[in-house]
Amino acid sequence: MSTLSVIFDIDGVVVDSEQLHYDVLAKLLPDHTRGVTAEQLIGLSLEETLLKIGIDAAKHAYLTRRIVEAYQDSLGPRYLRPGIRDLVHRLSEQGIPFGFVSTAPRDICLANLATLALAQEPPLVAGDDITRTKPWPDPYLAMLAHLEVTAAQTIVVEDTDLGIQAATAAGITQVYAWPHALSGSERYQQAHAVIQTLNDIAPFKAVLATSA
């Protein structure tokens, strides 16, 4: 049985997609995104984003479908963050439990995860799977239960303060922040450490150095 388990955020960790999310919104809703920056929307669920930019709740279901379709059409492997596909495949080969947690709708999460080209759909807790998402601990608690692992053995990789807060509230202490071009406003005060590459996390370096 593995003594290591890993939970990844998706947007900003698996795929460098925060700008893409904003670009899709700006194209579909130009009047509502004028004066709003991509940085201001990082970490928010799509529901929270639509509320923040002033979209009436009655229009959310229709707009969500349009946004998801436009996002899926634009996404591709070029958005993968460096080293993430190799690491996830090595975890799978070595039987190390891993899963993904996101505030995004399941359809967007699955489109992002498809860029990893895994043989099977991995464990996922999406924003529309639970009532309370980040910064509440619920999505991380749900993933720990699904993987049947403990908080003490789990490493989390996040890119937002909201995500780090959620993982920490779930009792996970090894929560790493992985910044990107749009995360300049994040403070990462609750993070165990801030990394520049996945190899900066010692257990990941060992996984990548080990053959299946």
Q: What is the pLDDT of residues 58-88, one digit of tens each?
A: 999 999 999 989 998 989 888 999 999 999 9
Q: Please report where in the chains the tokens 């946004």 appear, as a residue.
A: 67
Q: What is the rounded CA–CA span in Å between residue 120 and residue 114?
A: 10
**pLDDT above 70 for 212:** no
Q: 3.40.50.970, 1.10.10.10, 3.40.50.1000, 3.40.50.620: which CATH number matches 5-16+79-209? A: 3.40.50.1000
**What's the whole-number mean pLDDT along residues 3-22?**
93
Q: Rounded to 10 degrees, what is the CA torsion of 99, 105, 108, 109?
A: 0
- pLDDT score, position 21: 87
Whole-angstrom Cα distance, residue 91 to residue 62? 38
154 close to 144: Cβ distance less than 8 angstroms: yes
